[in-house]
Structure 1
């Protein structure tokens, strides 16, 4: 299996690492240990299995952990995963992405103002938006489904099943990738496809294209024809303008002129050589004629 491509959604494939850390914090919740959390309230947490001060404490302890780790890639992935935890665990996905982001923003403000956050994660937080959050949720669901499929094989009593439930979901995401503009999402789908198909072929030893995930790339035959034609048309339109209104014109004329002169010189020299050759032939004939005349 080839090495995975680095993407903005790396955390999707290793989200359990961050989930384990957050689960640890849920077992030891004391809002008084995190300044700003004891009296925290938010309307979006009414449907949460944790009350607002507890959600605040868990989130801020996790952000503090990220800061101490001081590993940029770990911090960036952690900031993105914290949104996912807030949306799926803190508010149980019963509110909109926008409302969860609003909750996250308020918690991050408390972290910076009351807990020496120093705005350290601003550059990561600014990348988190409705679209990235939506894509992250989809990718994590896909990886969770695949993990479930892997566990079936790990069971000693299970019969090898080559049909993965990931196929239908993955195919719908590929369509979304092809019609959208998030290249990072497409790259992460390629990572998932590589991992899934490797497991199917090399671990389960299943034969048949029907068990494999389709390519993410969209081989558009029409596009393959239109793009070259467009380039030809654009070139044919731009070239006369460059020739007439830019230094490119005199430059190419100079080059063509030099080549033209070179060919003229070659032709002239050839012509001269031919003339000389003809003259020599005439002289030779004249000598032969004179010799013949004298002999007679």
Structure 2
């Protein structure tokens, strides 16, 4: 089946209101809506079960999509009127693509086709107006970039809630969300450091995020004494842009989060203090380990070769 994935000039526009959508899905009432969709979604899973690993996954995807539809369709404004509710329609199409692509068996069907299966089960519902004409398959590369932006704002939203909390007991640790922000920001910045991409819509939206995050950091800085840990500045996120890499051997891979843990957490202090001890131990036992290694080589061939690495990093 030809899916015709694409990206439109306004596909990213909903990010102007992204905090509204994230907060809407954090509302407890939002997550209490699933039961009313159970029967219809079970029927959907029966007809589309071959596209998912099991029926329960199909039901869950259907329920998640319909929860968002009903949440956006307040006051019967109808998501069919996308000229009037442009960003709502844009976010709904993104969410449909995200939920289905995340759970579907690769290559089974198009996003549009799967959504039509959900749409057809709710045609008689009093809250639902068919809007399948406004659903399209988003280009996979662009969807991946949208997912990065969404996760950035999702963690930003958590950080904002913590920093603006008035009760001390609501001031949770910033570091988990700040670290996750760094992970996605490094990836996003790497994409936008490419000269061919730095003026793309994605990169423009990333600049908007940077601006919002900087405002949040300034707010944190004013309240720094209220928190037990740090909010990492985007400019201080560890860099994983590799300029030159020569890798031979069996181990290939980098763990960018290690830099965050090493620099900003108590774990880093422990690691740094242990490095000196470890170096001493290695030095003291070097001769012994060499002898052991030579004896082992006499008895059997080692199944791997020592790797060489030539890795450099450049500031963002």
TM-score w.r.t. the length of structure 2 is: 0.47
Q: Deviations over 1:77-97 (max 9, x none)?
A: 122123323455xx3xx855x
Larger Rg: 1
Match of 2:201 among 184, 193, 199: 184
Provide the residue aligned with 1:28 in structure 2: 36
- Between stretches 68-77 and 112-121, larger displacement belongs to 112-121
For residues 83 and 172 of structure 1, the distance between their equivalents in structure 2, rounded to whole angstroms, comes to 21
Aligned to 1:107: 115
Q: Relative to structure 1, is the Cα distance of residues 176 and 168 closer, same or farther in structure 2, using a 3 angstrom cutoff?
A: same
Contact 2:19-2:153 at 8 Å conserved across structures: yes
Residue 195 (structure 1) aligns with: 212
**Which one is further off, 161-170 or 180-189?**
161-170
Q: 8 Å contact 2:22–2:154 — kept in the other structure?
A: no
Q: Which among 144, 147, 152 is matched to residue 134 of structure 1?
A: 144
Distance 1:144 1:189 in 2: 14
Q: What is the aligned counterpart of 1:149 among 146, 159, 163?
A: 159
Find the residue that maps to 1:126 and give its secondary structure: coil
Deviations 1:57-110 (A, max 9, x none): 55357547656423232122122123323455xx3xx855x66x7355322255
**1:213 aligned to which of 217, 221, 234:** 234
Please say if residues 30 and 57 of structure 1, whose CA atoms lie closer than 8 Å, have aligned partners that are also in contact: yes
Bigger mean CA offset, 10-19 vs 168-177:
10-19
Alignment of 1:7-22 (within 5 A): 7-10=12-15, 12-17=18-23, 19=25, 20=27
- Cα pair 1:84 1:133 within 8 Å, conserved: yes
Partner of 2:86: 72
Distance of aligned partners of 1:173 and 1:75 in 2 relative to their CA distance in 1, 3 Å threshold: same
C-alpha distance in 1 between matches for 2:183 and 2:44: 43
Which residue of structure 2 lines up, in the alignment, with residue 169 of structure 1?
Answer: 184
Distance 1:30 1:192, change over 3 A: same
> Take 2:145 and 2:205, find their aligned partners in 1: how far apart are those partners?
10
Give SS of 1:28's match. Answer: helix
Partners of 1:37 and 1:57 within 8 A in 2:
no
RMSD across aligned positions (CA): 4.3
Separation in 2, partners of 1:160, 1:31? 40
**Deviation digits for residues 130-155 of structure 1, max 9, x if unmatched?**
12321122112222222343344336
Point out where structure 1 has 5 or more consecutive residues left out of the alignment: 1-5, 215-296
Q: Distance in 2 between matches of 1:81 and 1:62?
A: 8
Residue number in structure 2 paired with 1:280: none
Q: Is the 8 A contact 1:9 1:184 kept in 2?
A: no
What does residue 286 of structure 1 align with? none
Decide whether aligned partners of structure 1 residues 25 and 102 sit closer, same or farther in structure 2, where only a CA change above 3 A counts: farther
Q: Whole-Å Cα distance in 1 between the matches of residues 161 and 71 of structure 2?
A: 30
Q: Would you tell me which structure has more helix in proportion to its own residues?
A: 1
Q: d(CA) in 2 for partners of 1:82 and 1:108?
A: 11
Structure 2 unmatched ranges of 5 or more: 1-10, 79-84, 225-230, 236-316
How many residues were matched structurally?
Answer: 198
